[in-house]
Amino acid sequence: MTIRRIAALINPSARHGLGAGAAETALGALRAHGLDVTEMIGRDATHAQELAHSAARSDHDAVVVIGGDGSIRLALVAVRGTGTSIGLMPAGTGNDHARALGIPIDDPVAAAAIIGAGHQRSIDLAQITLADGSNSVFGTVAATGLDALVTERANMLSRPKGQLRYPIAAVAEIAKLKPFHYRITVDGTTIERDLVLASAGNTRSYGGGMHITPDAIIDDGLLDLTLVLSGSRLRLLTLFPTVYSGKHIHRPEVEQLRGRKIVLECEPAAPIYADGDRVGMLPATIETLPGAVTFLVPRNPSKESRAQT
Protein backbone atom coordinates (compact mmCIF):
# COMPACT_ATOMS: atom_id res chain seq x y z
CA MET A 1 0.00 0.00 0.00
CA THR A 2 1.31 3.46 -0.91
CA ILE A 3 1.04 5.99 1.92
CA ARG A 4 1.27 9.66 1.00
CA ARG A 5 -1.48 11.63 2.78
CA ILE A 6 -2.20 10.97 6.44
CA ALA A 7 -4.50 12.43 9.05
CA ALA A 8 -2.57 12.74 12.33
CA LEU A 9 -4.83 12.43 15.38
CA ILE A 10 -3.03 14.16 18.24
CA ASN A 11 -3.68 13.85 21.97
CA PRO A 12 -1.70 16.67 23.65
CA SER A 13 -2.69 15.37 27.11
CA ALA A 14 -0.95 12.00 26.59
CA ARG A 15 1.61 11.10 29.24
CA HIS A 16 -0.18 13.44 31.64
CA GLY A 17 0.66 16.56 29.68
CA LEU A 18 3.93 15.45 28.13
CA GLY A 19 2.22 14.53 24.85
CA ALA A 20 2.54 17.98 23.24
CA GLY A 21 6.31 17.74 22.94
CA ALA A 22 6.11 14.15 21.74
CA ALA A 23 3.56 15.19 19.12
CA GLU A 24 5.84 17.90 17.76
CA THR A 25 8.69 15.40 17.42
CA ALA A 26 6.38 12.84 15.77
CA LEU A 27 5.01 15.34 13.26
CA GLY A 28 8.54 16.37 12.33
CA ALA A 29 9.50 12.73 11.75
CA LEU A 30 6.44 12.09 9.57
CA ARG A 31 7.08 15.16 7.41
CA ALA A 32 10.78 14.35 7.15
CA HIS A 33 9.74 11.02 5.70
CA GLY A 34 7.92 12.88 2.91
CA LEU A 35 4.37 12.38 4.15
CA ASP A 36 1.65 14.99 3.64
CA VAL A 37 0.26 15.47 7.16
CA THR A 38 -3.10 16.95 8.18
CA GLU A 39 -3.06 17.69 11.92
CA MET A 40 -6.17 16.91 13.96
CA ILE A 41 -5.89 17.98 17.60
CA GLY A 42 -8.65 16.85 19.97
CA ARG A 43 -9.74 19.26 22.70
CA ASP A 44 -11.10 16.30 24.66
CA ALA A 45 -12.11 12.67 24.09
CA THR A 46 -15.43 13.58 22.45
CA HIS A 47 -13.83 16.02 20.04
CA ALA A 48 -11.02 13.57 19.26
CA GLN A 49 -13.61 10.90 18.46
CA GLU A 50 -15.35 13.26 16.04
CA LEU A 51 -12.06 14.08 14.35
CA ALA A 52 -11.18 10.39 14.06
CA HIS A 53 -14.53 9.59 12.40
CA SER A 54 -14.02 12.45 9.96
CA ALA A 55 -10.48 11.32 9.13
CA ALA A 56 -11.49 7.68 8.61
CA ARG A 57 -14.06 8.73 6.02
CA SER A 58 -11.81 11.20 4.20
CA ASP A 59 -9.48 10.66 1.25
CA HIS A 60 -6.42 10.26 3.49
CA ASP A 61 -4.42 7.06 3.07
CA ALA A 62 -4.32 6.37 6.81
CA VAL A 63 -5.21 7.72 10.24
CA VAL A 64 -2.06 8.05 12.34
CA VAL A 65 -2.48 8.23 16.11
CA ILE A 66 0.05 10.34 18.00
CA GLY A 67 -0.75 9.36 21.56
CA GLY A 68 -1.30 6.34 23.77
CA ASP A 69 -3.60 3.35 23.94
CA GLY A 70 -6.63 5.43 24.95
CA SER A 71 -6.24 7.59 21.84
CA ILE A 72 -5.83 4.49 19.70
CA ARG A 73 -9.12 3.14 21.06
CA LEU A 74 -10.88 6.23 19.69
CA ALA A 75 -9.37 5.51 16.29
CA LEU A 76 -10.41 1.85 16.45
CA VAL A 77 -14.03 2.87 16.82
CA ALA A 78 -13.72 5.35 13.96
CA VAL A 79 -12.00 3.19 11.34
CA ARG A 80 -13.92 -0.03 11.94
CA GLY A 81 -15.79 -0.92 8.77
CA THR A 82 -14.18 1.82 6.66
CA GLY A 83 -11.11 -0.03 5.36
CA THR A 84 -8.87 2.83 6.55
CA SER A 85 -5.60 1.71 8.14
CA ILE A 86 -4.21 2.99 11.44
CA GLY A 87 -0.61 4.07 11.90
CA LEU A 88 1.01 4.55 15.30
CA MET A 89 3.42 7.16 16.60
CA PRO A 90 3.59 6.04 20.26
CA ALA A 91 3.32 8.95 22.70
CA GLY A 92 1.44 7.52 25.67
CA THR A 93 2.22 6.01 29.04
CA GLY A 94 1.66 2.33 28.26
CA ASN A 95 1.96 2.05 24.45
CA ASP A 96 0.86 -1.59 24.57
CA HIS A 97 -0.66 -1.56 21.07
CA ALA A 98 2.75 -0.55 19.74
CA ARG A 99 4.48 -3.27 21.76
CA ALA A 100 2.11 -5.90 20.37
CA LEU A 101 2.67 -4.78 16.78
CA GLY A 102 6.44 -4.36 16.94
CA ILE A 103 6.39 -0.56 16.56
CA PRO A 104 9.26 1.23 18.36
CA ILE A 105 8.01 3.21 21.35
CA ASP A 106 11.06 5.48 21.63
CA ASP A 107 12.13 6.04 18.01
CA PRO A 108 9.78 8.38 16.09
CA VAL A 109 11.97 8.24 12.97
CA ALA A 110 11.62 4.45 12.81
CA ALA A 111 7.89 4.65 13.55
CA ALA A 112 7.43 7.17 10.72
CA ALA A 113 9.33 4.89 8.34
CA ILE A 114 6.96 2.02 9.19
CA ILE A 115 3.98 4.21 8.30
CA GLY A 116 5.55 5.34 5.05
CA ALA A 117 6.34 1.75 4.02
CA GLY A 118 2.62 0.95 4.06
CA HIS A 119 2.85 -2.70 5.15
CA GLN A 120 -0.55 -3.74 6.53
CA ARG A 121 -1.72 -6.31 9.05
CA SER A 122 -5.32 -7.18 9.97
CA ILE A 123 -5.88 -7.75 13.67
CA ASP A 124 -8.73 -8.65 15.97
CA LEU A 125 -10.63 -6.29 18.18
CA ALA A 126 -12.81 -7.11 21.17
CA GLN A 127 -16.19 -5.64 21.99
CA ILE A 128 -17.49 -4.98 25.49
CA THR A 129 -21.26 -4.83 26.00
CA LEU A 130 -22.54 -3.58 29.36
CA ALA A 131 -25.83 -4.38 31.11
CA ASP A 132 -27.48 -1.23 29.71
CA GLY A 133 -26.74 -2.37 26.15
CA SER A 134 -23.98 0.18 25.50
CA ASN A 135 -20.83 -1.16 23.88
CA SER A 136 -17.28 -0.18 23.01
CA VAL A 137 -14.24 -1.83 21.47
CA PHE A 138 -10.66 -2.31 22.61
CA GLY A 139 -7.43 -3.66 21.18
CA THR A 140 -5.27 -4.79 24.11
CA VAL A 141 -6.66 -5.86 27.51
CA ALA A 142 -9.88 -5.42 29.46
CA ALA A 143 -9.18 -5.32 33.21
CA THR A 144 -11.58 -5.93 36.07
CA GLY A 145 -11.06 -6.16 39.81
CA LEU A 146 -7.65 -5.28 41.27
CA ASP A 147 -6.00 -4.32 37.98
CA ALA A 148 -8.88 -2.00 37.11
CA LEU A 149 -8.62 -0.38 40.54
CA VAL A 150 -4.86 -0.01 40.09
CA THR A 151 -5.38 1.66 36.70
CA GLU A 152 -7.99 3.94 38.23
CA ARG A 153 -5.64 5.02 41.02
CA ALA A 154 -2.65 5.34 38.66
CA ASN A 155 -4.64 7.61 36.34
CA MET A 156 -5.35 9.93 39.27
CA LEU A 157 -1.70 10.24 40.30
CA SER A 158 0.01 13.37 39.06
CA ARG A 159 3.40 12.02 40.09
CA PRO A 160 5.49 10.16 39.23
CA LYS A 161 5.13 10.38 35.47
CA GLY A 162 5.06 7.28 33.29
CA GLN A 163 4.96 3.62 34.23
CA LEU A 164 6.19 4.05 37.83
CA ARG A 165 2.65 5.08 38.74
CA TYR A 166 1.44 1.47 38.33
CA PRO A 167 3.51 -0.30 41.04
CA ILE A 168 2.82 2.56 43.46
CA ALA A 169 -0.91 2.29 42.76
CA ALA A 170 -0.76 -1.52 43.05
CA VAL A 171 0.77 -1.46 46.54
CA ALA A 172 -1.88 1.03 47.71
CA GLU A 173 -4.77 -1.02 46.30
CA ILE A 174 -3.49 -4.39 47.55
CA ALA A 175 -3.25 -2.96 51.06
CA LYS A 176 -7.02 -2.46 51.20
CA LEU A 177 -8.25 -5.09 48.76
CA LYS A 178 -11.19 -7.39 49.40
CA PRO A 179 -11.95 -10.28 47.00
CA PHE A 180 -14.75 -10.28 44.43
CA HIS A 181 -17.08 -13.23 43.84
CA TYR A 182 -17.12 -13.80 40.08
CA ARG A 183 -19.48 -15.76 37.87
CA ILE A 184 -17.66 -16.33 34.57
CA THR A 185 -19.04 -17.85 31.38
CA VAL A 186 -16.63 -18.71 28.56
CA ASP A 187 -18.24 -19.95 25.33
CA GLY A 188 -21.22 -21.26 27.27
CA THR A 189 -19.36 -22.91 30.18
CA THR A 190 -19.86 -21.23 33.58
CA ILE A 191 -17.59 -21.25 36.64
CA GLU A 192 -17.64 -19.33 39.93
CA ARG A 193 -14.54 -18.13 41.74
CA ASP A 194 -13.49 -15.77 44.53
CA LEU A 195 -10.96 -13.60 42.71
CA VAL A 196 -8.93 -10.46 43.05
CA LEU A 197 -8.96 -9.87 39.30
CA ALA A 198 -10.07 -11.18 35.92
CA SER A 199 -8.42 -9.78 32.78
CA ALA A 200 -9.35 -10.54 29.17
CA GLY A 201 -6.50 -10.03 26.69
CA ASN A 202 -6.45 -9.63 22.94
CA THR A 203 -2.72 -8.90 23.32
CA ARG A 204 -0.12 -9.90 25.87
CA SER A 205 0.28 -6.75 27.88
CA TYR A 206 -1.22 -3.69 29.51
CA GLY A 207 0.10 -0.94 31.77
CA GLY A 208 3.29 -0.47 29.76
CA GLY A 209 4.48 -4.03 29.28
CA MET A 210 2.90 -6.05 32.11
CA HIS A 211 2.29 -9.46 30.50
CA ILE A 212 -1.04 -10.24 32.15
CA THR A 213 -2.16 -12.58 29.32
CA PRO A 214 1.26 -13.67 28.00
CA ASP A 215 -0.04 -16.27 25.54
CA ALA A 216 -2.59 -14.00 23.84
CA ILE A 217 -2.35 -13.76 20.05
CA ILE A 218 -3.60 -10.61 18.37
CA ASP A 219 -5.15 -12.28 15.32
CA ASP A 220 -6.32 -15.75 16.40
CA GLY A 221 -9.99 -14.84 16.93
CA LEU A 222 -9.76 -15.66 20.64
CA LEU A 223 -9.42 -13.86 23.97
CA ASP A 224 -7.19 -15.07 26.79
CA LEU A 225 -8.59 -14.75 30.31
CA THR A 226 -6.31 -14.57 33.35
CA LEU A 227 -7.86 -15.13 36.78
CA VAL A 228 -6.09 -14.50 40.07
CA LEU A 229 -7.63 -16.37 42.99
CA SER A 230 -8.17 -14.69 46.33
CA GLY A 231 -5.21 -15.02 48.70
CA SER A 232 -3.13 -13.17 51.23
CA ARG A 233 -1.87 -9.66 50.61
CA LEU A 234 1.69 -10.94 50.90
CA ARG A 235 1.12 -13.45 48.07
CA LEU A 236 -0.35 -10.70 45.92
CA LEU A 237 2.62 -8.42 46.60
CA THR A 238 5.02 -11.18 45.56
CA LEU A 239 2.90 -12.02 42.50
CA PHE A 240 2.77 -8.48 41.14
CA PRO A 241 6.42 -8.24 39.95
CA THR A 242 6.11 -11.53 38.05
CA VAL A 243 3.40 -10.05 35.81
CA TYR A 244 6.05 -8.04 33.95
CA SER A 245 7.63 -11.26 32.69
CA GLY A 246 4.43 -13.30 32.42
CA LYS A 247 5.72 -15.84 34.96
CA HIS A 248 2.69 -15.31 37.18
CA ILE A 249 0.77 -17.85 35.10
CA HIS A 250 2.85 -20.64 36.65
CA ARG A 251 1.71 -19.81 40.17
CA PRO A 252 -1.04 -21.92 41.80
CA GLU A 253 -3.32 -18.93 42.44
CA VAL A 254 -3.49 -18.08 38.72
CA GLU A 255 -5.89 -19.73 36.29
CA GLN A 256 -6.14 -19.21 32.53
CA LEU A 257 -9.02 -19.70 30.11
CA ARG A 258 -9.53 -18.94 26.43
CA GLY A 259 -12.60 -18.32 24.28
CA ARG A 260 -14.50 -16.20 21.82
CA LYS A 261 -17.20 -14.90 24.17
CA ILE A 262 -16.71 -14.14 27.86
CA VAL A 263 -19.38 -12.99 30.31
CA LEU A 264 -18.11 -11.48 33.57
CA GLU A 265 -20.35 -10.90 36.59
CA CYS A 266 -19.20 -10.18 40.13
CA GLU A 267 -20.18 -9.11 43.63
CA PRO A 268 -19.56 -6.46 44.71
CA ALA A 269 -19.74 -4.76 41.33
CA ALA A 270 -16.30 -4.01 39.91
CA PRO A 271 -15.17 -1.45 37.32
CA ILE A 272 -13.98 -2.54 33.90
CA TYR A 273 -11.17 -0.76 32.06
CA ALA A 274 -10.08 -1.32 28.46
CA ASP A 275 -6.94 0.06 26.81
CA GLY A 276 -6.37 1.99 30.03
CA ASP A 277 -9.73 3.81 29.99
CA ARG A 278 -12.76 3.23 32.19
CA VAL A 279 -15.62 1.64 30.26
CA GLY A 280 -18.16 1.11 33.06
CA MET A 281 -19.10 -1.48 35.66
CA LEU A 282 -19.63 -5.23 35.52
CA PRO A 283 -21.54 -7.26 34.43
CA ALA A 284 -20.17 -7.20 30.89
CA THR A 285 -19.94 -9.42 27.84
CA ILE A 286 -16.65 -9.43 25.94
CA GLU A 287 -16.39 -11.03 22.51
CA THR A 288 -13.91 -11.06 19.65
CA LEU A 289 -14.26 -9.25 16.33
CA PRO A 290 -11.81 -11.18 14.13
CA GLY A 291 -9.76 -9.17 11.63
CA ALA A 292 -11.77 -6.04 12.38
CA VAL A 293 -9.11 -3.39 11.67
CA THR A 294 -5.85 -2.94 9.78
CA PHE A 295 -2.65 -1.44 11.18
CA LEU A 296 0.52 -0.27 9.45
CA VAL A 297 3.25 -2.46 10.90
CA PRO A 298 6.90 -3.43 10.32
CA ARG A 299 7.53 -5.76 7.41
CA ASN A 300 9.99 -7.64 9.63
CA PRO A 301 8.31 -7.70 13.07
CA SER A 302 10.10 -7.83 16.40
CA LYS A 303 10.44 -11.08 18.35
CA GLU A 304 7.51 -10.20 20.61
CA SER A 305 5.13 -9.26 17.81
CA ARG A 306 6.15 -12.34 15.80
CA ALA A 307 5.03 -14.43 18.76
CA GLN A 308 1.58 -12.91 18.32
CA THR A 309 1.38 -13.62 14.61
> Does residue 109 carry a pLDDT above 50?
yes
- pLDDT at residue number 91: 87
Q: What's the average model confidence in pLDDT over 212-238?
A: 93
Q: What is the DSSP annotation of the chain? A: ----EEEEEE-TTHHHHTHHHHHHHHHHHHHHTT-EEEEEE-SSHHHHHHHHHHHHTSS-SEEEEEE-HHHHHHHHHHHTTT--EEEEEE-SSS-HHHHHHT--SS-HHHHHHHHHHT-EEEEEEEEEEETTS-EEEESSEEEEEHHHHHHHHHHH--SS-GGGHHHHHHHHHHHT---EEEEEEETTEEEEEEEEEEEEESSS-BTTTB-SSTT--TTSS-EEEEEEE---HHHHHHHGGGGGTTGGGGSTTEEEEEESEEEEEEES--EEEETTEEEEES-EEEEEEEEEEEEE--SS--HHHHTT-
| pLDDT > 90? residue 110 | yes
Query: Annotated catalytic, 277?
Result: yes
**Looking at 215, 219, 220, 277, which residue is catalytic?**
277
In this prediction, what percent of the chain has a pLDDT beyond 70? Answer: 92
pLDDT reported for residue 168? 82
| Confidence band of 170 (pLDDT split at 50, 70, 90) | confident
Between 5-9, 260-264, 298-302, the lowest mean confidence (pLDDT) is in 298-302
pLDDT in tens, 135-169: 999 999 999 988 888 777 877 776 766 667 777 87
**Average pLDDT, rounded, for the chain:** 89
In the CATH hierarchy, which fold is given to the domain comprising 127-290?
Tumour Suppressor Smad4 (2.60.200)
pLDDT at 309 exceeding the cut of 50: no
**pLDDT, position 16:** 45
pLDDT grade for 302, boundaries at 50, 70 and 90: low
Q: What is the pLDDT of residues 29-78, one digit of tens each?
A: 999 999 999 999 888 878 888 898 998 998 999 999 998 898 899 899 89
Rounded to an integer, the average pLDDT of 16-25 is 66
CATH superfamily of 5-118: Probable inorganic polyphosphate/atp-NAD kinase; domain 1 (3.40.50.10330)
**Residue ranges per domain, the chain?**
5-118, 127-290
Q: For 228-238, what is the mean pLDDT?
A: 87
Q: Who has greater pLDDT, 277 or 16? A: 277
